[in-house]
């Protein structure tokens, strides 16, 4: 199936879901914005609330897939506080040598009760400068990937395996992943998403504890502590290999099916 066919299929799925809602079969889409969640992800840095993120990305007329989790505002705030506790535990982390060259530690951001979490490898130059994940060219492509399944950036959670930029954007070394990945685990334990989408080999191999190639792993859905994991290519790789976009479309459709399942 080529990219155009996959795009049509995604539109068809969105249309079907919209039709179900109009028929009143069940409440699976919503047009109204989510309540604002408290800022919690960059302590010590200028706060970027969920409301601010939503305001940047909101399309009031666009019907979006719900990210409702059944989580009450109190529970959502509790998750935000628990994420803040994880961030505080990291502190001014010097657990590996990546602290020596970082500008900012990039913890992660998004909805603390997100149903979908994207996990990348580590911050790049733009992310290191701004202290936020996926804000450069690859980040803009990730935004488009998120929008392609009817969501906005503020409705998901985005983080990385390592929180500090590896010099020259090299792949993080095992001795850097080993002290940092427990904090990724803690983030996921707090959020408890319905599905995790791993971006690239490092995130996929770290989460699934395997050395298999991403090309082999992305053909199916794996489990991390009972949560489905959909591996796909990293947006930075996609920028260099646009022919792989069709494969990523297939993976995103798998994510969509799990979210709507």
CA gap 123, 162 in Å, rounded? 8
Helix residue ranges per DSSP H, the chain: 3-22, 50-57, 73-90, 125-130, 137-148, 174-191, 201-208, 214-217, 235-240, 245-260
Min dist CB 172 to ligand SF4, Å, is 7
CA gap 140, 151 in Å, rounded? 14
Pick 33 or 179: Cβ nearer ligand SF4: 179
Pick 128 or 152: Cβ nearer ligand SF4: 128
What is the end-to-end Cα distance of the chain in Å, rounded? 22
Min dist CB 36 to ligand SF4, Å, is 28
Min dist CB 239 to ligand SF4, Å, is 24
Min dist CB 76 to ligand SF4, Å, is 25
Rounded to 5°, angle at Cα 86 from 69 and 182: 95
User: Are 255 and 230 in contact, with CB atoms under 8 Å apart?
Assistant: yes
CA gap 222, 214 in Å, rounded? 12
Min dist CB 179 to ligand SF4, Å, is 4
Min dist CB 125 to ligand SF4, Å, is 15
DSSP secondary structure, 59-114, as one string:
-TTS-EE----S--HHHHHHHHHHHHHHHHHHSS--SSGGGGT-SS----EE-TT-
Residues binding ligand SF4 (CB under 6 A): 90, 93-96, 98-99, 105, 162-164, 176, 179-180
Pick 110 or 122: Cβ nearer ligand SF4: 122
Pick 41 or 163: Cβ nearer ligand SF4: 163
Pick 120 or 150: Cβ nearer ligand SF4: 120
Pick 38 or 179: Cβ nearer ligand SF4: 179
């Amino acid at each position: 199936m080529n990219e155009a066919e996959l795009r049509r299929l995604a539109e068809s799925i969105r249309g079907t879901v919209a039709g179900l809602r109009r028929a009143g079969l069940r409440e699976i889409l919503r047009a109204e914005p989510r309540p604002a969640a408290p800022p919690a992800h960059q302590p010590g840095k200028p706060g970027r609330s969920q409301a601010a993120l939503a305001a940047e990305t909101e399309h009031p007329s666009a019907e979006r897939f719900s990210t409702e989790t059944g989580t009450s505002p109190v529970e959502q705030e509790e998750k935000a506080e628990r994420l803040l506790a994880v961030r505080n535990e990291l502190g001014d982390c010097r657990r590996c040598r990546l602290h020596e060259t970082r500008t900012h530690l990039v913890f992660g951001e998004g909805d603390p009760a997100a149903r979908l979490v994207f996990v990348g490898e580590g911050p790049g130059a733009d992310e290191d400068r701004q202290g936020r994940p996926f804000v450069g060219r690859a980040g803009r492509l990730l935004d488009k990937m998120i929008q392609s399944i009817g969501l906005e950036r503020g409705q998901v959670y985005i983080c990385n395996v390592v929180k500090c930029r590896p010099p020259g954007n090299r792949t993080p070394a095992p001795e850097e992943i080993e002290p940092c990945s427990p904090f990724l685990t803690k983030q996921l334990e707090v959020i408890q998403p319905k599905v995790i989408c791993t971006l690239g080999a490092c995130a996929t191999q770290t989460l699934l504890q395997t050395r298999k190639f991403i090309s082999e792993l992305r053909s199916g859905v794996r489990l991390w502590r009972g949560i489905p994991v959909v591996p796909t290519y990293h947006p930075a790789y996609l920028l260099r290999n646009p022919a792989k976009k069709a494969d990523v479309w297939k993976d995103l459709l798998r994510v969509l099916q799990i979210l709507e399942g």
